[in-house]
Structure 1
Amino acid sequence: MLTVLVVGASGFVGSAVVRAAAGRPDLRVRTMSRTVLPGDHVCGDIIEASDTRAALVGVDLVVHCAHASPGDPAAMTTSELGTQTLCRAAGRQGARVVLASTTAVYGNGPHRNLREERAPVRPVSPLSRARAAAEEVVRSYRGLVVRAPLTFGHGDRWLIPTAISVQRALGWIDAGRSRHTVIHVDDLAGGLLALARSGGAGATYHLGNPNPVSVRTLLEAVASSLDIGLNPRDISRAQAEQVLGPRLVSLLADEHTYDSSAAWAKIPTGPRHDPTRPTQDEVAWYQRVLAEPAALARPGAAE
């Protein structure tokens, strides 16, 4: 039995990795975060070498999901130096590290069926620059980098809530035609665990659902499941940018599709979740989040 350490275990992706690992009889799970969690848990910060060493005792695999929060002035320090501390300690332990990163490191779209080796890294925000820096550290220690596209599911407070809120307030940007690679957080979690064992040392992978979906198809399916109406109005990109700014409009209105075939070739099972068919759990989650007071676009969340 292998012991896997999930770093950033209280977050959106990290908590999904914990759930996925807990259901595997061949894995023993340990968690690390700054939030106290039940079970085999180390409460600490990856920047602190003593915390990291304690968390890594007896660990075989590390799934690194700890990232700075939007608006964190120390984002680069948290990601780069914290990742360096983690990888150095993992190397001494002989543990393999896989980093949960993001396709946001490519910057503004359009991105059309990008493959990993042909995609220049051009981050445009502090958070995506911090992710790119963490990637460099992980690869230098022969770890794996997994870049996820827009991610949905239980715990999502950005993608669906922001897209639905924007659409209902403004309407369809360019008729909602833009196509996107997305992934359910549970499919991402399972893929991270699989790649931690089977992926190539120092490799970078995209991990998204192989079937892109248009903004219109995605939001109409979610709205139908939530029994809410959408705004029939069509607005131009220029009109949307006056309200939202160019970065968020690029995320919603430009194509963002990524070739994930290299990753899925190393994962025993394909994605289990269809973005156009939300589960009852997801419906309940999004109903709750959309009922919360929130701005049109959550500040700083658009990497």
Structure 2
Amino acid sequence: MCGGSGFIGRAVVGELVERGGLEVRVLARRAGGAAGWAGGGVVRGVCADLTRPASLRGLCSGVGAVVHAASYVGRDPVRCEVVNHAGTVALLAEARRAGVGRFVYVSTASVYGGGPHRGVGEGVVVPRPVSAASASRLRAERAVLEAGGCVLRPHLVYGAGDEWFVPAVARVVARVPVWPSGPVSVSSVIAVEDLARGVAGLVGAPGDVDCSGVYHAVHPRPVPMDEVLLALHQCLGVPLPRVGEVSVREHRALVARAVPELSDHQYALLTRDHWYRGDRLWACAGVDPGPGFAARFAGAAGWYAGRLGGDARPGVPGAR
């Protein structure tokens, strides 16, 4: 498991442990990266670094499947290339050397670019990434696919450990208490625990089943943004924004001043349609996609309440 100490990776490790009967080897850049696990499986931390290919030597020996969920999502193009693309190529080479049977790479639907995207299936839209991070992850995807691996493209992921999606919405609403006029955007979302079950399902699929290719890792029902805003209000006390007082252009200008760290692309992900068909993942993984946004968000509300702090109150800058 590469990236097993991150938001998605920890959920995947937890799911694999819960299933039992597996030894889970977690790649971590620092000792203790796999600490805190217990359950029916065995978790063993291995110190290695994607940016130092020599440190990967022997990592995959005796491994049946590799799950790669590590990524750099900042704006440094050199680091994006070194971590996301070159690091993936190095890990693939080590997996190939060790004869690993299955390689699952958790990428992002952001490789498609700005949208709008409505009901898009795998292979329908040509990826056009608009950030260095997404472009490097697309190059990583191509290397994985050429090697016969699996690529998962989640869009907006939420749940305990989410440092971007829900915190970003809460921060925008707290600092700019209006929402743009026009049709409400619709987005594909997935709870991190359901994404983890999908990944684990692919890992555990019989060896004679061809799981290669691209999968949209999304819940079958896309979620309108007004449902997200209502859930934040009801579960976390985030004020409901006033709707229809400003245009999208005016709203973007207000948000750019109030939340300067939010890029144009990130703003579009929250305000423009981005929803995808994801039936193929759940069919191939052999698992149910879960109960959907309302139930899963309510279950994570306690974690978010502790995480958001000032972001949930108007006029108070967040911790990020």
Report the TM-score when normalising by structure 2: 0.85
Q: C-alpha separation between the residues in 2 aligned to 1:56 and 1:248?
A: 35
Q: Does 1:205 align with 2:212?
A: no
**Corresponding residue for 1:22?**
17
Letter in 2 for 1:49: P
Q: 1:176 to 1:53 in 2, by over 3 A?
A: farther
Q: 1:97 to 1:278 in 2, by over 3 A?
A: closer
Equivalent position SS for 1:265: helix
CA deviation vs aligned residue, 1:27-68 (integer Å, no higher than 9, x gap): 221101214322411122023233222321211100000101
**Corresponding residue for 2:264?**
246
Equivalent position SS for 2:170: helix
Q: Does 1:169 align with 2:175?
A: yes
Moved more, 172-181 or 94-103: 172-181
**Contact 1:113/1:257 (CA < 8 Å) preserved in 2?**
yes
Runs of 4+ deviating beyond 6 Å: none
**Corresponding residue for 1:71?**
75
Residues 115-154 of structure 1 aligned to structure 2 (within 5 Å): 115-154=121-160
**Contact 2:68/2:105 (CA < 8 Å) preserved in 1?**
yes
RMSD over aligned Cα atoms: 2.2
Moved more, 168-177 or 52-61: 168-177
Moved more, 287-296 or 140-149: 287-296
Letter in 2 for 1:65: A
Q: 1:97 to 1:237 in 2, by over 3 A?
A: same
**Contact 2:92/2:144 (CA < 8 Å) preserved in 1?**
yes
**Corresponding residue for 1:12?**
7
Give 1:227 shift: 2.9
Q: C-alpha separation between the residues in 2 aligned to 1:273 and 1:48?
A: 41
Q: Does 1:93 align with 2:98?
A: yes
| Aligned residues between the structures | 293
**Contact 2:111/2:134 (CA < 8 Å) preserved in 1?**
yes
**Contact 1:146/1:206 (CA < 8 Å) preserved in 2?**
yes
**Contact 2:201/2:287 (CA < 8 Å) preserved in 1?**
no
Of all paired residues, the percent bearing the same amino acid is 32
Match of 1:232 among 242, 251, 271: 242
Q: C-alpha separation between the residues in 2 aligned to 1:273 and 1:287?
A: 21
**Contact 2:174/2:238 (CA < 8 Å) preserved in 1?**
no
Give 1:197 shift: 4.1
Give 1:193 shift: 1.6
Q: 1:202 to 1:271 in 2, by over 3 A?
A: closer
Q: 1:90 to 1:218 in 2, by over 3 A?
A: same
Q: Does 1:192 align with 2:203?
A: no
Q: Does 1:62 align with 2:69?
A: no
Q: Unaligned regions of 5+ residues in structure 2, if any? A: 36-42, 257-262
Moved more, 289-298 or 111-120: 289-298
Letter in 2 for 1:64: H
Equivalent position SS for 1:88: helix
Give 1:175 shift: 5.7
Q: C-alpha separation between the residues in 2 aligned to 1:246 and 1:230?
A: 23
Q: Unaligned regions of 5+ residues in structure 1, if any? A: 1-5, 299-303
Report the TM-score when normalising by structure 1: 0.89
Q: C-alpha separation between the residues in 1 aligned to 2:195 and 2:13?
A: 12
Q: C-alpha separation between the residues in 2 aligned to 1:223 and 1:34?
A: 38
